Chains A and B, each alone.
Chain A
Amino acid sequence: MITTTNLTKKFDGVCALENVTCTIQNGCIYGMVGSNGAGKSTFLRVLSGVYKADGGEALLDGEPIWENPSTKAKIAYVPDELYYLPAANLMRMGKLYASLYPDFDWQTYKTLAKDLDLPTDRGINTFSKGMRRQALTILALSSKPEYIFFDETFDGLDPVMRSYIKKLICQDVVDRGATAIITSHSLRELEDTCDQLSLLHKGGLILESDVQRLKTAQYKIQIAFSEEYDKSKFEGIDIVHFVKHGSVSNMIVRGDKQETVTRLSAMGPVLLDVLPLTLEEVFTYEMEALGYSFNLD
């Protein structure tokens, strides 16, 4: 389990992470979204032991991460900015990882390289951006870590490869009970993969919830009445967002769906539709409710 308490990191006086407190349970896929510069990469670097926190603490299974090899041995980190040895091919990088990670599994490495059709004897510098990311993902997964961190990992991957990589991550979590953290600036990339989602904004964690709850906790209702009405007509219903065009209103509502529908039906509407929300919409409305207003992508 990963726990951070008031995690803070500053660069030249600029606060990249500010009092981030969160808990990431074992065996889950934790998604973290946020716009560019929100602090996602910094968060992962602190969790990987690359950065030392300026304040607060980050614990992995109750142990500090910074300068703690036994804890760091449980982690594989696939950064946004990829590193490979100059003029190295995938096999050379495999040997490097094998020498550095004692649990490196050559069978997994071979299988994944074959499945992804990556040549192991060709220089990685000749690979496309997507291929390099695949290569590094292979290496990270082959290291068999308990915790695996992906920073903007779907960047540069084509849709087919994106879903394959997601499948690989999910499989790894299911098969081995690993814990994954994936960061992205695009919520769409994460909504079908993650168990838990959080939103980082300007260094602060402003929302954290499990995906299922997020998806079901809010829903959109389209309703119309023949008579004139306004928002006050729906008093007692937890409306997160309300827009009225003519006689038709669109509402984002929080609370028990069945109970709300029963109540609205009793009002005799000429139109009543209940629509599911995309995760992106849930986030947008949640942010609005918290006083933030921005587009996630």
Chain B
Amino acid sequence: MKKTLFSKGLYVEGLRKLRVLGFIALALMIVIQIAGPITQYFSYLDWLEYSEPGEVYYPDTVSFDLVTLSVPLTAALVTPIMVLMLFSVFNKRSASDFYHSLPYTRVCLYLSNMAAVFTWIIGICVISGCVGLLAYISFPKLFSVVFDGAFNYLLTSVAFMLVSAGVCALGSAMTGTLFSNIAVSLLVMFLPRFILTVMTMEIGNNAWYLALDRLAVLSPTMNVYVGTLYYLFFEGDFPNFFENTAADIYTIVLGIIYIALALLVFTKRKSETATQPALSRAVQATVRILLTMVIGIFSVILFIEGEIAGCIIVTLISIVAYFAYELITTHRWKNCLRALPGLAIVLGISILCGAVMVGIPMISEKYTPDADDIDSVRFVDLTDNHEWFGKGTDKIKFDDPEILDIVAKTVKWNMKTYDTQYGGYITLGDSMYYTEEESNVYRTIAIKDGIFTRYRNVKFSSDDHEKILDILDEHEEYIKILKTLPTPADGTLDFYNGVQPGADASFYKKAFETLQEEIYELPLEDWYSIAKNMVGIEYGTSFDVSYWSDSYDSVDVWFPIPVDVFPRTFDMLLKTNELGYDERLGQFEKAVESFDKMEENYNHFDISATIYVPEEDGKAAIYRGDSTFAAYDMPHLWEDDRFKDGYVEALEKAKASDKKPSSTDGYIYMVINYEKLPEEDKKDEYKHRWEYLEIFLPIPEDFDPDEAGFLRMMEDAEVYEEKYW
């Protein structure tokens, strides 16, 4: 047992061999982990120096992934280097002979070495992760650590570790030089997903009706390692793997398969493979062919697209790559000649790929079932992991004959006109369809037909879609899911624009409950438009709600609360704005009265203000801006020196009105352009932070429009900014 599966001696030897790299990686990861807290600590010291007595420092909320950033970094970056390093000894003939002559099986050699790698990786992750965690939780004044999603995050890290270890072990087992180790590892890691993605994109381009994005396994992000790089290169961002458990599990399973496959290959690997580019001619040919296909696949696509000249050029490049790999790895011209027959296999694979890319749309195009053939339909049109609307409804099956009938007719119509850009009217059965894009509604549906489920992007006519919505509106389970808002995560619920002080937690809860009640009462079509952000809203006639959900993997929920759609909620929110309105009006009056004095000290271009004046019809007139903007809002006060007069007039109007502002944005405020302040008023401690920013702040209750008053207001602004922005 001991010598056939695992050897402590080999394991310890593996640990020793990796110690230099291991300690360097550990040191680097610890530095990465403590860099954030240290930087923040110095900022805190800075704040302490300049803060006023009684001021409160609000800690940063940091998520678990930031606190333990070193864990996925180590798993993704250090693991492959360690595996390649440890297994590269088998690239040297003397070393390979030495290890294979030892009284251990190849399985034992492999498992002991892999165990050494995993020990280092887990050790670095645990130590650096704990250091990071300690560094953050040791400063509760500076940080508030949120542990939500920690399990998924660790699962992703395990996926990174296993898949990168498996791929590199496989690459090393299959080949006998460092160059080929790396080349084959890269091929194993990226090629299958690359070919799949390219082919999927090509199929998707030619057959928009195929909802290929519904087949999660086709997505590059299913492999967390490939997906991360894909996102980094093509999206310039990191994907949110830490919430995609399916991708984590898929990648973990893939990693285990690669590790097992590498074990199998390693046991078959001969010691004489050392210094050879591959363990056998067949493997060498396979690698060469697959490498060629990286380029060759594009010549197939160009051929399908009818770009013959481009196809010829890319084909020639792929042939050069084919022979170049052979030459680089074997250093023998003669082998290029021997590799010649392999080009036939490249051609065969290319034809196969081409057949798949052309054949799938051709076969799919023929799928136009009758309503009787369809068992059920699901509406699955979610395009984004972050999209909250409709979550949970995609599992509901509809077998309403009218829906099935509409779907069947629409699929037939779509397939008849899928390549028609300006088709005009088309008659199908009793219905007439118009193909102009604007009049149609695109939905993604899953059609259950016997044992098969087919995902299709379907272009419904707006009439048919309305009919479907009407039917869905009657579906109790569907409506309940669709109209039930995700539960807000603690402390994330916010209503804006501008809920005034006085809105406490119980108010928020009540407002949310009222909103939910109104949603239940709303016709589905209206709710669909609101949730999908398809309605135009006049400025000032809507609040917004925004929060992170506690369910559905913390999706970001946001939608507007227009006065005409959610009147009760709107009124509730507006009432908070009315609280203290008179006081604020008084403050504003004091400010306006002091404009002359202010202008002695400051250029009035540096000052702007906003006031909302209730009109007779209950709507708000919005007066805002500096001298220039004021002129636009009040054409009769065009001249700059009458800037103040505009506000005086607005103020008088507001005071005379017995109504409260019905605008959502009743928050009176002034804006000071700090950049334009006289140099002597620019305190250094503000300058480094706000030199290029405008400061938005409420007018303080004790606003004194002299020079000292402005500076005090700016200090308040700092607190304001720290707290809310």
Taking Cβ atoms with an 8 Å cutoff, the residues of A that contact B are 11, 45, 48-52, 67, 69-73, 75, 77, 79, 81-83, 85, 96, 99-101
Contacts and interface: CB of A to CB of B under 8 A. Distances in A.
Given A79-B97, A96-B13, A70 B103 contact: yes
B216 interface: no
Contact of A99 (B13, B101, B106, B270): B13
Contacts of B97: 45, 48, 50, 77, 79, 81, 83
A81 B97 CA distance: 9
B662 interface: no
A96 B15 CA distance: 12
A69 B101 CA distance: 10
B360 interface: no
Contacts of B7: 100
A121 to B, nearest CB: 17
19 contacts: A11-B272, A45-B101, A48-B97, A49-B101, A51-B271, A69-B3, A69-B103, A69-B105, A72-B101, A72-B103, A72-B104, A73-B3, A73-B103, A77-B101, A82-B94, A96-B13, A99-B12, A100-B13, A101-B103
B8 to A, nearest CB: 8
Interface string B91-133: 0111101101111111010000000000000000000000000
B439 interface: no
B240 interface: no
A77 B271 CA distance: 15
Interface string B1-26: 00110011110110001000000000
B98 A79 contact: yes
Given A51-B272, A99-B12, A99-B13, A81 B104 contact: no
A144 B106 CA distance: 23
Given A51-B271, A81-B94, A100 B103 contact: yes
A79 B274 CA distance: 15
Contacts of B100: 48-50
B105 A100 contact: no
Contacts of A71: 103
B105 A48 contact: no
Interface in B60-113: 92-95, 97-98, 100-106, 108
Contacts of B105: 67, 69
A75 B103 contact: yes
A17 B17 CA distance: 35
Contact of B270 (A51, A70, A82): A51
A173 to B, nearest CB: 20
Given A11-B272, A69-B104, A100-B10, A83 B3 contact: no
Which has the most chain A C-beta neighbours within 10 Å: B92, B98, B106, B108? B98
Nearest to B97: A50
Contact of B94 (A48, A72, A79): A79
Nearest to B8: A99
Nearest to A49: B101
Contact of B108 (A69, A85, A101): A69
Contacts of A73: 3, 103
A81 B272 contact: no
A256 B274 CA distance: 52
A51 B108 CA distance: 17
A45 B17 CA distance: 25
B536 to A, nearest CB: 71
Nearest to A81: B94
A11 B271 CA distance: 12
Nearest to B267: A67
A67 B105 CA distance: 5
Contacts of B10: 99-100
Contacts of B17: 85
Contacts of B92: 83
Nearest to A149: B101
Contacts of B271: 45, 50-51
B284 to A, nearest CB: 12
A73 B12 CA distance: 19
Given A69-B4, A79-B98, A100-B7, 12 more contacts: A11-B272, A45-B97, A45-B271, A48-B97, A48-B101, A50-B100, A69-B103, A71-B103, A73-B3, A75-B103, A79-B101, A100-B13
B597 to A, nearest CB: 80
Nearest to A51: B271
Nearest to B2: A69
Contacts of A81: 93-94, 97
Contacts of A52: 270
Cβ-closest 3 pairs across A and B:
A99-B9, A73-B103, A69-B3
Contact of B101 (A11, A75, A82): A75
Nearest to A99: B9
A11 to B, nearest CB: 7
Contacts of A83: 92, 94-95, 97-98
A97 to B, nearest CB: 9
B668 to A, nearest CB: 74
Contacts of B106: 67
A82 B98 CA distance: 8
Which has the most chain B C-beta neighbours within 10 Å: A11, A49, A99, A100? A100
Nearest to B10: A100
B333 to A, nearest CB: 17
Nearest to B96: A50
Contacts of B12: 99
Contacts of B4: 69
Contacts of B13: 96, 99-100
A148 to B, nearest CB: 12
A101 B93 CA distance: 21
A100 B3 CA distance: 10
A50 B101 contact: yes
A83 B104 CA distance: 17
A49 B105 CA distance: 10
Contact of A100 (B9, B95, B272): B9
Contacts of A72: 101-104
B360 to A, nearest CB: 42
A261 to B, nearest CB: 50
Contacts of A49: 100-101
A82 B92 CA distance: 11
Contacts of A100: 7, 9-10, 13, 102-104
B268 to A, nearest CB: 10
A85 B18 CA distance: 12
B622 to A, nearest CB: 75
A70 B17 CA distance: 26
A222 to B, nearest CB: 48
A101 B103 CA distance: 8
A16 to B, nearest CB: 10
Contacts of A45: 97, 101, 271
Contacts of A51: 270-272
A69 B9 CA distance: 14
Contacts of B272: 11, 51
A48 B12 CA distance: 23
A51 B270 CA distance: 7
A70 B100 CA distance: 14
A285 B482 CA distance: 99
A104 to B, nearest CB: 10
A180 to B, nearest CB: 16
A52 B272 CA distance: 10
Nearest to A42: B272
Nearest to A96: B13
A52 B4 CA distance: 17
A100 B11 CA distance: 10
Nearest to B92: A83
A85 B101 CA distance: 15
Contacts of B103: 69-73, 75, 100-101
Which has the most chain A C-beta neighbours within 10 Å: B102, B270, B271, B272? B102
Interface in B244-289: 270-272
Nearest to B3: A69
Nearest to B276: A12
Contacts of A48: 97, 100-101
Nearest to A16: B272
